[in-house]
């Protein structure tokens, strides 16, 4: 599984509301740090694109702003990390979005990967909504419209906030303000990573 005794893979989880700028900040981090980037949204969109037996179901769930089944997603994440030799430093963008996500992680990946901490982007709904509507003008994404955005916010409140609270109890959350322009937000990110010894 782990040829040549390479160090165990290590992961930093990245979360924030829909439109908080996770993807944007991850792109910046990859340029400056030795991180491999896995975006759960991109993984799922790629899976849908392949057109396998689950493609239609994935499309429908995402259009509804709901979460896809956790085991399906965690198996995809596992495959991705394995394909890179089960080693390296990852930023996992969009995970864990629910307590169920985290249970699947524990069951399917567990201690084979070292989970470091959770970087949480904080942003008001008004700002997030504006960003997503703007992206929706060109993204072609089925979920960047006013109706789905409302549902994504509800999913975030009801399913993601509780798992973030669980991580907070274990002192594993580091919060970053994500209201400002991308470069300014990135300054906050770098400070947060330095504080964590990254």
Tell me the window of 3-11, 19-27, 78-86, 188-196 that interacts with ligand B4P (CB under 6 A).
19-27
Q: How far is the CB of 49 from ligand B4P (least distance, A)?
A: 13
Instruction: Say if residues 164 and 14 touch (Cβ distance below 8 Å).
Output: no
The window from 2-10, 48-56, 108-116, 130-138 that contacts ligand B4P (CB under 6 A) reads 130-138
**Residue 65 engages ligand B4P in binding (rule: CB under 6 A):** yes
- Cβ–Cβ < 8 Å for 92, 14: yes
Q: Does 95 bind ligand B4P (CB under 6 A)?
A: yes
Binding piece for ligand B4P, criterion CB under 6 A, among 37-45, 48-56, 112-120, 164-172:
37-45
Residue 152 CB, shortest distance to ligand B4P, in Å, is 5
Residues interacting with ligand B4P, by CB under 6 A?
18-24, 40-41, 44, 61-62, 65-68, 73, 94-95, 97, 101, 131-132, 135, 143, 152, 181-182, 185
């Amino acid at each position: 599984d782990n040829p040549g005794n390479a160090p165990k893979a290590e992961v930093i989880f990245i979360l924030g509301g829909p439109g908080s700028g996770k993807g944007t900040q991850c792109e910046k981090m990859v340029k400056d740090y030795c991180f491999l980037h896995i975006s759960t949204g991109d993984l799922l969109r790629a899976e849908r694109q392949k057109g396998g037996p689950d493609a239609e179901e994935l499309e429908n769930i995402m259009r509804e702003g709901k979460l896809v089944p956790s085991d399906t997603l965690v198996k995809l994440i596992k495959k991705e990390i394995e394909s890179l030799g089960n080693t390296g430093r990852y930023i996992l963008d969009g995970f864990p979005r629910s307590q169920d996500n985290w249970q699947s992680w524990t069951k399917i990946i567990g201690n084979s990967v070292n989970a470091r901490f959770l970087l949480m982007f904080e942003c008001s709904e008004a700002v997030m909504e504006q960003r997503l509507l703007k992206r929706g003008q060109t993204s072609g994404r089925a979920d960047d419209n006013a109706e789905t955005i409302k549902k994504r916010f509800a999913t975030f409140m009801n399913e993601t906030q509780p798992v973030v609270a669980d991580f907070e109890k274990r002192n594993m959350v580091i919060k970053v303000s994500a209201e400002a322009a991308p470069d300014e937000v990135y300054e906050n990110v770098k400070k947060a990573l330095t504080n964590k010894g990254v």
